[in-house]
């Protein structure tokens, strides 16, 4: 599958965030979207996901696809976790195709076992991000789209999370928006500030 972003422009309250931006996102490729605050990183991801519509240009699928939408595993900037649920519950609820035993195995790659069954409201910021990353990777998807997924993680945790994400990506594509790209040298860097 190729996701085509073609000549996309988007403005909010008269301020242009993206102008005539184009990008083809292909299977088995990694894309690191970076840029200063307000350069359009989150907006681009929201356009790809269909959560926003471009003012001009288009986002679509290239080729002969029977589904008009993108099946994506997503990490948003905000955690969007169900606070009273455990890490296992938060990950298992995303799809009927996800088994709790599998979720537990995957979470153990990112978190200690004593963190898996307590409400996520009791986890610290870094642990919560790990749950968000695992949840996105639990969904059978064509693409992983992650907005600042490693925000708040120490360097060693970033390495662990990056390894996990790369392993789980499969044959799909990976799109990460991040201000800090120091440990993200495994993909094509696209700087929206330029």
With pLDDT > 90 as the criterion, what percentage of the chain qualifies?
80
Q: Which two tokens stand for residue 40?
A: 């359009």
Is 167 strand, coil or helix?
Answer: helix
Q: What is the largest CA-CA distance in the chain?
A: 49
Q: Alpha-carbon distance 78 to 121, whole Å?
A: 14
Give tens-digit pLDDT for 145-188. Answer: 999 999 999 999 999 999 999 998 878 899 999 999 999 999 99
Give, in degrees to the nearest 5, the angle at Cα 98 between 93 and 101.
100
Residue 63's pLDDT is: 65
Residue 15's pLDDT is: 94
Question: What average pLDDT does this structure show over 115-132?
Answer: 97
Question: What average pLDDT does this structure show over 89-116?
Answer: 93
Q: How does residue 141 score in pLDDT terms, banded at 50, 70 and 90?
A: confident
Q: Alpha-carbon distance 145 to 139, whole Å?
A: 12
| Whether pTM exceeds 0.85 | yes
């Amino acid at each position: 599958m190729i996701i085509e972003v073609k000549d996309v422009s988007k403005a909010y309250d008269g301020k242009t965030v993206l102008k005539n931006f184009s990008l083809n996102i292909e299977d088995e490729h990694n894309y690191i979207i970076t840029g200063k605050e307000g350069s359009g990183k989150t907006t681009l991801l929201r356009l790809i996901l269909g959560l926003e519509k471009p003012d001009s240009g288009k986002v679509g699928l290239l080729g002969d696809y029977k589904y008009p939408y993108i099946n994506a595993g997503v990490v948003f900037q905000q955690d969007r976790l169900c606070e009273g649920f455990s890490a296992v519950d938060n990950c298992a609820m995303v799809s009927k195709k996800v088994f709790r035993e599998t979720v537990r195995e995957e979470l153990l790659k990112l978190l200690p076992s004593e963190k898996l069954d307590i409400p996520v409201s009791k986890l610290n910021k870094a642990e919560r991000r790990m749950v968000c990353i695992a949840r996105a990777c639990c969904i059978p998807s064509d693409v992983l789209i992650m907005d600042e997924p490693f925000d708040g993680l120490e360097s060693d945790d970033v390495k662990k999370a990056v390894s996990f994400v790369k392993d789980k990506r499969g044959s799909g594509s990976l799109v990460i928006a991040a201000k800090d790209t120091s440990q993200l040298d495994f993909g094509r860097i696209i700087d929206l500030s330029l």
